[in-house]
Structure 1
Amino acid sequence: MPTPPDRPRRAARAQEIESLAEFDRAVAEHGSLARCRVQAVDLTGRTDALLRLDTTDAVFLGCPMAPEAAARVRASGALVFPPVPGLPFDPYRGCPYTPDELFASLEEGYEATPDARAYGWFRRTTADGDVFASMLRAIHDDAVSDALDEVLDGCRVVGVMGGHAMARGTVEYAGAARLGRSLARAGYTVATGGGPGAMEAANLGAYAAPFADTMLDEALVPLAKAPSFRPSVTEWARAAFEVRARWPEGGASIGIPTWFYGHEPPNAFAAHIAKYFANAIREDGLLARSTAGVVFLPGAAGTVQEIFDNATPNYYESYGEPRPMVLVDRDHWTRELPAWPLLQSLARGRELESRIALVDRIEEAPEALARLGDGSR
């Protein structure tokens, strides 16, 4: 079908290259790098290819390369954004973080890890008001969003929201872990705010999903010896890595934390960690990517904010696909923090009414989520 004259044909998407293997494959298959976007790939060993191939309109983001290669690709029409020295993170990264990456050097104490050093850099540069640093933060967060979308392509994502104060060794923590396991076994991709407490518990549950039920019960025992990241993040994180070492290759899930709350460390049970500097982007992105619904466990101000942030697109029905919402713990959401009555008032007479549910027990959440999802299709 011909393109209407008032709607110009969209140019073909530029090829993204995010690893040396992808670079070599592009060279072998196309013999050209024209219009490619090469992101955070060390090209110091690919000088010959860079000197001979067409790089017209290509962009190289944070790719180390030999000086003669950089000069040649610039001269042939490419843009080269060189690596930024001295940073504890790569602003051009092409994939989410892993727990091993963020907690590298944990044996020397949490303060030595890339996660802690990135938080220190964030605090210093925010206080300085350095425009270059703010640009780097923005580039980093955009790269993380792009990487996260690639990981989640085609996934049925359920967000699990809840407070950071939920301690290991409690009935509530074990319940949140079983929730994460149930959701993962039902075929959902579990996504959380990536921090401690309820967030860690849900990621732990997804990690436990491929194993026998007894694995989770056994894993909760050593974790309970370090119930909180206070007073020692180091001991708290080490307990998690001990569990991962005993039961390697657990199920995958998503954690989306932020250095804005850098005093709260990321948890080690999310396989893919999309950590942001900007908390607003992080919170909106987590809810927007929870395409199969959101379960809200008991929490405080942050969780209340997330409830109504998520209710908004359901209230304005034209915003897109419905996002079922399940609130867990009737007493908490009707008496302690009465978000449910207000949510009901907003929903009355609108499509939102068929997309929300309040349950007493955490075990009821997966069934309620499935029921709302079936009703919204």
Structure 2
Amino acid sequence: MDPTPAQPPRAAHDREIETLAEFDEVVSAHGTLSGYRVQAVDLTGRTELLLSVDCAGAVFLGCPMDPEAAARVRAGGALVFPPIPGLPFDPYRGHVYSPGELYARLGEGYEATPDARAYAWFQATKADGDVFASMLRAVHDDSVSDALDELLAGARVVGVMGGHAMARGSLAYAGAARLGRELARAGFTVATGGGPGAMEAANLGAYAAPFGDGMLEDALRLLAKAPSFTPSVTDWARAAFEVRERWPGGGASVAIPTWFYGHEPPNAFAGHIAKYFSNATREDGLLARCTAGVVFLPGAAGTVQEVFDNATPNYYGSRGEPTPMVLVDRAHWTERLPAWPLLASLARERPMESRIALVDRIEEAPAALKRLGG
């Protein structure tokens, strides 16, 4: 009879090792890697340890290691998925992206950045039917979702949705930035679609939240020098990093963009960027994580889609209690793109009816969100 008492099974996240420090801690504390998943950790400096530690049932995902060590852990019962050379992204990554990571080498022009190179790879592979490329995209997106779930565990997330055409220097952009700032100061985690325009403005506002009010006004004036990502993504992005360098240590928020819309670069003001290849996975994941509600600023087809993508689970109750939905700009949502009458008709006599609101001005959105239970 085995005298060792049975150990309770570890939760999935408790079995994941995503940094070298975590790797060393697990080996030191438990003396085994059996059953663990080691994700995108460079183990080239841990060869001696890998030659001796128990790895039965372990999985190594994209971990560089010495060939001798790789052979040893395979022989010991581990699965080893080696790094894939030549990719502009890591499909096994253990964390979401940072602005600095996606915009590395911006000094050589946007085309040299990992973000632009990943989009170019996507464009080159998405139409050729290569099952290997589609598998890599799927693995990457699942890894990003896993990392995003860990990041947002327990957070009160409010989404801010809106079009990419809202220019820096405009009153609407400034209003969206102040909205993001107020939400962040109220203790919410601001989440956006991660692109330019209204999305960037909300992430900028969250970044500005720890500073005095004058910082945001100064940043808005600085950004107005490059009002749009067209014709030059490089100049547009450089202006954002100039703000970050002048006021380091801003507040964190989340951006969830996609290479499907690769002509729209990610904004640099979100501290955490979960970028996807699949737009369907990204859209559903973005809205599902907005647990404290969503504010919809004026936008076009993409924003309209987001309104009703969010309305559907609220209508059917498929994610539990309906979450608040606040539409901003009465004329936009009742005349130019009359989504509000349809949304109100869908909500009638449903639990979601008390969780939707239409307001005229951005400044009214936080109070409306609070009134609806956000």
Q: Same fold (TM over 0.5)?
A: yes
Q: Is the 8 A contact 2:63 2:83 kept in 1?
A: yes
Q: In the alignment, residue 103 of structure 2 is paired with which amino acid?
A: F
Is 1:243 matched with 2:221?
Answer: no
Q: In the alignment, residue 335 of structure 1 is paired with which amino acid?
A: E
Query: In structure 1, the residue corresponding to 2:326 is in which secondary structure?
Result: strand
Query: TM-score scaled to structure 2, two decimals?
Result: 0.96
Query: TM-score scaled to structure 1, two decimals?
Result: 0.96
- Deviation, 1:18, is 0.1
Measure, in 2, the Cα distance between the counterparts of 1:12 and 1:195: 37
Is 1:12 matched with 2:6?
Answer: no
Q: In the alignment, residue 64 of structure 1 is paired with which amino acid?
A: P
Q: In the alignment, residue 51 of structure 1 is paired with which amino acid?
A: L
Q: CA RMSD in A?
A: 1.1
Aligned equivalent of 1:7: none
Aligned equivalent of 1:277: 277
- Deviation, 1:318, is 5.0
Query: In structure 2, the residue corresponding to 1:327 is in which secondary structure?
Result: strand
Measure, in 1, the Cα distance between the counterparts of 2:109 and 2:128: 27
Write the mapping of 1:170-319 to structure 2, written as runs, cut at 5 A.
170-319=170-319
Query: In structure 1, the residue corresponding to 2:295 is in which secondary structure?
Result: strand
Query: In structure 2, the residue corresponding to 1:52 is in which secondary structure?
Result: coil
Measure, in 1, the Cα distance between the counterparts of 2:248 and 2:105: 19
Measure, in 2, the Cα distance between the counterparts of 1:350 and 1:19: 46
Q: In the alignment, residue 317 of structure 1 is paired with which amino acid?
A: G
- Deviation, 1:48, is 1.1
Measure, in 2, the Cα distance between the counterparts of 1:161 and 1:80: 40
Is 1:343 matched with 2:343?
Answer: yes
Query: In structure 2, the residue corresponding to 1:373 is in which secondary structure?
Result: coil
Off by >2 Å, runs of 4+ in structure 1: 10-14
Query: In structure 2, the residue corresponding to 1:158 is in which secondary structure?
Result: strand
Q: In the alignment, residue 337 of structure 1 is paired with which amino acid?
A: L
Question: What are the superposed Cα offsets for residues 125-145 of structure 1, whole Å, 9 maximum, x if unpaired?
Answer: 113221100000000000000
Question: What are the superposed Cα offsets for residues 338-371 of structure 1, whole Å, 9 maximum, x if unpaired?
Answer: 0000111111111111010000110010111011
Aligned equivalent of 1:333: 333
Question: What are the superposed Cα offsets for residues 114-171 of structure 1, whole Å, 9 maximum, x if unpaired?
Answer: 0000000000011322110000000000000000111101100000000000000000
Query: In structure 2, the residue corresponding to 1:80 is in which secondary structure?
Result: strand
Query: In structure 1, the residue corresponding to 2:357 is in which secondary structure?
Result: strand
Measure, in 1, the Cα distance between the counterparts of 2:244 and 2:149: 26
Aligned equivalent of 2:65: 65
Identify which range, 10-19 or 69-78, moves more after superposition: 10-19
Q: In the alignment, residue 267 of structure 2 is paired with which amino acid?
A: N
Q: Aligned residues: percent identity?
A: 79
Question: What are the superposed Cα offsets for residues 236-273 of structure 1, whole Å, 9 maximum, x if unpaired?
Answer: 00000000000001000000000001111000000000
Measure, in 1, the Cα distance between the counterparts of 2:58 and 2:365: 48
Measure, in 2, the Cα distance between the counterparts of 1:318 and 1:105: 43
- Deviation, 1:12, is 3.0
Measure, in 2, the Cα distance between the counterparts of 1:53 and 1:322: 49
Aligned equivalent of 1:82: 82
Q: In the alignment, residue 289 of structure 2 is paired with which amino acid?
A: R
Measure, in 1, the Cα distance between the counterparts of 2:32 and 2:113: 39
Query: In structure 2, the residue corresponding to 1:60 is in which secondary structure?
Result: strand
Aligned equivalent of 1:139: 139
Q: In the alignment, residue 77 of structure 2 is paired with which amino acid?
A: G
- Deviation, 1:317, is 2.6
Question: Structure 1 stretches of 5 or more lacking a match?
Answer: 1-9
Q: Is the 8 A contact 2:315 2:322 kept in 1?
A: no
Q: How many residues align?
A: 366
- Alpha-carbon spacing, 1:328–1:353, altered in 2? closer, same or farther (3 Å): same
Measure, in 2, the Cα distance between the counterparts of 1:158 and 1:307: 14
Aligned equivalent of 2:29: 29
Measure, in 2, the Cα distance between the counterparts of 1:318 and 1:65: 44
- Deviation, 1:226, is 0.3
Q: In the alignment, residue 11 of structure 2 is paired with which amino acid?
A: R
Measure, in 1, the Cα distance between the counterparts of 2:305 and 2:110: 30
Aligned equivalent of 1:52: 52
Aligned equivalent of 1:3: none
- Deviation, 1:70, is 0.4
Q: In the alignment, residue 236 of structure 1 is paired with which amino acid?
A: W
Q: In the alignment, residue 13 of structure 1 is paired with which amino acid?
A: A
Aligned equivalent of 2:119: 119
Q: In the alignment, residue 88 of structure 2 is paired with which amino acid?
A: P
Question: Structure 2 stretches of 5 or more lacking a match?
Answer: 1-7
